[in-house]
Structures are given as structure tokens and as C-alpha cells.
Amino acid sequence: MYVAAKGGEDAIQHAEALYHALNGTVTPELVHQILDHMPYLVDRVMGEGSLYAPELAALALAQTGGDLYEAVLLLRAYRSTQPRIAYATAITAADLLTVRRISAAFKDIPGGQVLGPTLDYSHRILDLDALDGIAPTPTAPAAADQPAPRSYPAVADWLRGQGLMPPAQPDPTDPADLPDVTTDAVLFPAPRAHRLQALARSETGGTLALGYASMRGYGLVHPTVNELRLGYAEVGMTHPLTGEPFSAGRARLSFGEVVNSGGSGDKRGFALGFTATLGWNEVKLIAGSTLDLEMSASDPHPAHTEEFVMYHTEPVESSGFCIHFKLPHYVTFASNLDAVRRVASLIYGESESVSVGTHNNGSSADTASAAGTHNNASAVHDASAVSVEAS
Amino acid sequence: MTALADLAHPRQDYSYAFLDASAKRELRRRILKAVAIPGYQVPYASRELPIARGWGTGGLQASLALVGPESVVKVIDQGADDSVNAANLRRFITRMSGAATTTDAARASILQSRHRIPEERLGAYQTLVLQVPDPEPLRGVQSDISKAHEMHADSDYGQLWLLLYEQLVRFRQYVQGASYPALVNGRYVISPSPIPRWDNPKLHQTPSLTILAAGREKRLYTVPPYTNVIPLEFSDVPFQVEDQRGWVCRTTGAVNKFMNELPQSDGSAMYELSDSGYAEKLKNDLPTAPTYYDENGGFYHDGYLKPPVILP
């Protein structure tokens, strides 16, 4: 009995034990297998969990049997109490150690299109031989004729140089003073920092659903992918004692930009939608940057409403609320039952219903006077007296 | 040579009561603001907790911000102490704070609850923390939070009244189930959380502090001690609590307290007290605190609940 008239505490401990028993033991080997062989899954948990910690993300996946929402919740709950030791220095597109960058807006771009690691142009055929232990023989990636450049310019900068996009406005705010969606009370209209942070940790499926609705025809424009990049970012820090800048490590990072010329209304240039996230997640980047471009449009569609987009793509909140309907609701249901029974008796005259229902013909004046003969504090009891008199 | 691990501080345990100091400070400040402006929904950041969102994380944050080693905590869900989610939340609060627990509403210093207010009257220095799924009573008539915020600022509650009026026209009575909206201190309309209407009057002029906290929606509001809480009602058609007259608790014989209706295999129903802590006392012949409703269903604030009026 899940409402557990008795022994709720005991029941939940056994239920949890059964869950873990069915999912098998979590070992360091399992965690590192996940880490090594499922980087995109780990990326997704880190991105939505908004914590760059590959080992912890892999552990979260192992511990939850691969339940993405549970894994993200584990990481978020761990993250929410971690101290902020310092803020990394801001990076630009040119700082990203890029392994893949493409632009759909131009055939070629300064620095070149770099396909990098992708399945985009592959045949999606199950490799059934792998089941028989016949290892697929992947072609070893060939080395390029010359080493890749250290950095690539931003495609958007070219558009800016052409006067097709307003110049970038560097934000001089100290990173520590930026609005922070995880520690601020979120209000609407939200600062752009909140919006971009919310998109960075938004749920991929939810972001795709709203972004897709927009792209499919509910949107205002056809987004063009101006640039999509996967790479590694140096976590730039300043040493607290020596003041020397240093790198505290590298994080897998990706960002996407879409442009359109219709949104601003004047057609004088292009507007830019942007999304960046921890890990590599191209679907989210394109959907998210489309939403970034459109979610302030004065249009009633949900995908064009900042509040709607931000609230409904939150993985921890949406999944948590959805599954909360498994909790017992018998008190609220009883309250609704009462209202339904009252309507059934008063409006539809179903006699077997509660006694107040037998009081169909009594005028309100009768009711008041009848009730008035009793102690006015006994409101609940009064109704019973009324119904007896009326019947 | 110094290893990187030597330079890093050792892995730390979680903070006392889980939340870090800055989260606690924020929550306490927001709670104080909410006490200063009864019924006003104060936005707060709302940290993630290790339980699912929508399962009481708002109430839990308020409880964790208040709890100390000397606290005595009671957690109920649908009135029951041993409901699985209540058991889980209680286990978490005590694990993180070392606070004592109780099922006795009269003994608790912090009562966290989902969907119910205990039957025994709460006193001064007791805090009731209600878990709130949707803090916005205007959500049904205005889904845009910014606009709803302006409506609250203007005390523009006309659409709520219209909703009630439409119910009267169509059904000759109010047909709202739980979460019946109430006016706090003559200023802000609140959603009292999905408590049954039976529990709405208990918020009125009570010596205890009530904190209503929504984790997912990131708003908290309060009903301070001795504050007027009036359910929305037209002067000629008073608000009504659930009609459970004649329902007798099958284990304690209690009447005129909120009951769970238990469907039986023969199509009939049995009834049982929803408030498990109170039922436990009755079963064991332990002394009980005065209750909000007496044996006859009379409410302790004389005249607060009015006789029903059914429109012709």
C-alpha cells in the first residue's frame, strides 16, 4: 500500500534497495566505462546539470541506471551547495580550441569549414557484427596536411564588419557581479544573462520541442545557422596570491548562433540568437539559439514568450513536477469529490448524494432563517439541520 | 614534489541542514520580508535539493532555513506522518540537522505539511510550513506572471470574483475544491496551497506562523500570527467547507474532523481521520490539544463560518 498507513519509512528503504538491486552494482570500472564510451550522454548530464564534472556525471548515470532526469537531479543537487571559489575569465569564440565549426550561411568562411567529429553524413546502420564480437574496423582518421590553426575568427564578426549586424558590445561587468539564474530570484522580463544561463542548462528535449515548433512554422523567421562550434575552453583563472593568469583545466564546450533578418522588423541587418552549453550538444544549440532569437517577440505563441520558454524547459522542475503526480492526492481529490457531489445533487438532482442535495426546493431565505435558529458557530452542523427540515 | 591533491582542500561534507550559508541567508531574509508583507509572494532563488522538484522542495528549503538542533519537526503528507514522501522528507531534515521528530502536532516547533493543516490548534512559536505547487491564485485567469504581479499590486482581483460569480450562475454554489483563494490582511489574495476548504479557516487569526513556499515556482509568502485570512465569498453566499457530516472514523469514532473516504469492495465507503497524529492520540487515550472544529462541527472562531446559502 503506497500511501502506507503504517511503515512508510520502511517501505521507501526497501523500494530503493530493490531499485539498486535491479540496476546492478556501481563500480569505478562502470563509471569509467561510461565516461570513456558515452561522452555525449555525459555531456548532456553535465550541460543540463550545469556542472562540469565528467566523472560525477558518469557516476550519476551509473547510480540511476541511466535515468537522465534522475542523473541531472543528482548532479544539480550536488552542485547547488558547492562553494563558488572564483569566476573564470570570459572567453570569446576565438579563444575556443575548436574541433568542429560549421556555418550554413556561407559556402566558405574565414578560417574554413571544419567538419570535425560528426555522424552528420554517415549511414545510420546498426553494426550487427559487433554483437558477434567482430570488432568493426574503423578507418583511422587521417592527419591533415598542416596543423589546424590555434583559433578561428567568429563568423558573426565578419557580418559585423560588413555592417550587417550591430557591433558587439563588450560587457565590462565583473563575472562575479553578473546576474546568476541559480542564485537570483528569477523575475520577468529576465536579464539576458538569466536567459542564456537558463538555455545553457535547459532540458534538451523540451528545448527542441519548443524550438522545433518555432522552426516548423509557428516561428517568425527561418533561422540560418551562422556558426556552430564544438571545442575545448581553457578555464582561465587569476592566481589569488601572485595575480598570475593560469588555466585551471579545459572543459568541453559548444555554442551555436542563428541569424535572421526578419525579427527586428526593419530588415536593416541581422539579429543573432545564441546558445552555449557545457559539453557538445548540437540539437540543443540550434533549438536554443532559435528560441533566444524569438522568445521576446510580441507574439502569443508559447515559444515566443520568454517566461514560457524558460519555465518549461527546466529539466529538474518539469520532470520533478511531472512525477510528483505519483504522490498521494487523496485530500485534494476528496475536496473535489465534495464539489462534484454537491453539483450532482443540486444541479442534476441525484438524490443519493449528500444530504444538502435534498434541499433543492428551499429558498435561500428559508435556509438562512432555518440556520439562524442554531448556534451560528456550528456552520457545518447547521446544514444538516436545514436538510432535515427541508426533507 | 607537491601533488595537485595536496593543494586542494579535503572533500567537505555538506553544510549543516544541507543548504550553504548564502542560501540560508537569502531564505531567511525572504521569509522576513514575507512576514512583513502578509500574503505577498516574495521571489527567491530556490536551490536544488536532493529530492525531486515538485515534491516539497519549497517547504523543505523553508524548513532547512529554520531548523536547528533544538527543533522538533513534524512532517505530514495528506495529513499522514507515515506517508512515504513525508517519511522521506523527515528522514532528510533530521539526517541533515539532527533535529528531533514527532508526530504530535502540539509538540512540534516546525510542521512541514503537504495538503493539510492538523486538527489540533497550533500555538505561538509554532511554524507551519506548507508545500506549495502553484503560489499564484491568479494563474487560472492570468497565466503571464508579470501581468499577474501588476494585478496584485493594483489589488485587481475582479477576475477572481467573476470566476466565483460564474460558478454561482452555473452551479448555484462555489465549486472550487482545494486551494480555495483567500484574502490575507485585507490586501493580497493568496492560494493557501492545495489544502481542503476545511483547513482554510485555520489560517485565520492563528497564533502560529504559516510559511507557504513553492520550490519550483520560486515564491514564498506567509500568514503571520494573528492575521485576518478571509476566503473569497460574496456577502450573501458564504464560503463552505467540505460536507462530511455523518462520517465517523472507523478506528477512533471521531466525527467532524477531516476524513479520508476509503472505498470498500461492496461499493460502500468507510471513513478514517486524515490527521494521523491526532488519530494516534485518540486511539491511545492521550490528551489532545483543543481542536479547530468541535465535536459538533462548530469552528472555534464564532461566526467565522456562516450557514450555507444555496441560491434558488
Q: What values do phi and psi take at A113, rounded to 5?
A: -75, 130
Q: Cβ contacts (< 8 Å) between B194 and chain A: which residues?
A: 331-332, 335
Q: What is the DSSP string of A102-139?
A: E-SS-SS-TT--B--S--TTS-----GGGGGT----PP
Residues of A in contact with B296 (CB under 8 A): 378, 380-381
Q: For residue A278, report the phi and psi dihedrals to the nearest 5 degrees.
A: -70, 140
Using DSSP's 3-state secondary structure scheme, residue B211 falls into strand
Q: Which of B250, B241, B269 is nearest to B119 (CA)?
A: B241
Residues 6 or more apart from A43 whose CB is under 8 A from it?
Answer: A252, A278, A279, A280, A281
Single out the residue of A73, A320, A197 nearest to residue B48, CA to CA.
A73
**Residue B190 forms beta bridges with which residues?**
B182
Nearest C-alpha of chain A: how many angstroms from B131?
12
Residue A379 is nearest to which of B43, B170, B306, comparing CB atoms? B306
pLDDT of residue A267: 60
User: What is the percent of chain A where pLDDT is above 90?
Assistant: 51
Q: Would you state the pLDDT for residue B241?
A: 96
Please report the residues numbered 312 through 341 in chain A whose beta carbons come closer than 8 angstroms to any beta carbon of chain B.
Answer: 316-317, 319-324, 327-332, 334-339, 341
Under a CB-based contact definition with an 8 Å cutoff, are residues A247 and A168 in contact? Answer: no
Q: What is the pLDDT of residues A298-357, one digit of tens each?
A: 777 888 889 999 999 999 999 999 999 999 999 999 999 999 999 888 888 876 544 443
Cell of A74: 543528482
**In a 3-state reduction of DSSP, which class is residue A312?**
helix
Query: Which residues 220-259 of B have a C-beta within 8 angstroms of A?
Result: 236, 238, 240-246, 256, 258-259
Report how many Cβ contacts below 8 Å link chain A to chain B. 248
The sheet that has A245-260: what strands, in order across it?
Answer: A97-102, A224-238, A245-260, A271-278
Chain A residue numbers with beta carbons less than 8 Å from the beta carbon of B87 are 4, 8-9, 11-12
CATH fit for domain B21-227, picks 2.60.120.1440, 3.40.50.11310, 2.102.10.10, 3.30.750.24: 3.40.50.11310
Contact between B312 and A76 using a beta-carbon 8 Å cutoff: no
**Closest chain A residue by Cα to residue B82:** A8
Residue B11: per-residue pLDDT: 65
- In angstroms, the Cα distances linking B230 to B40, B163, B181, B188 are 15, 17, 9, 11
Query: For residue A1, is pLDDT > 80?
Result: no
Segments of chain B scoring below 70 in pLDDT: 11-13
Contact (Cβ atoms closer than 8 angstroms) between residue B74 and residue B110: yes
Residues of B in contact with A334 (CB under 8 A): 196, 242, 258-261
In chain B, domain spans: 21-227
Mind listing the pLDDT tens digit for each residue in A187-224? 888 999 999 999 999 999 999 999 998 888 777 667 89
- Angle formed by the axes of helices A28-37 and A39-49, to 10°? 100
Interface of B with A in 165-224 (CB under 8 A): 170-173, 175-179, 194-198, 216, 218
Longest CA pairwise span in chain A (Å): 100
Length of chain A in residues, anyone? 391
Output the pLDDT for position B126: 98
pTM for the structure as a whole: 0.81
- For chain A, what are the domain ranges? 8-79, 93-117+147-324, 330-390
| Spatial distance between the Cα atoms of A303 and B311, rounded to a whole number of angstroms | 44
Contact B298 A381 (CB under 8 A): yes
Close Cβ partners of A283 (under 8 Å, ≥ 6 residues apart): A204, A208
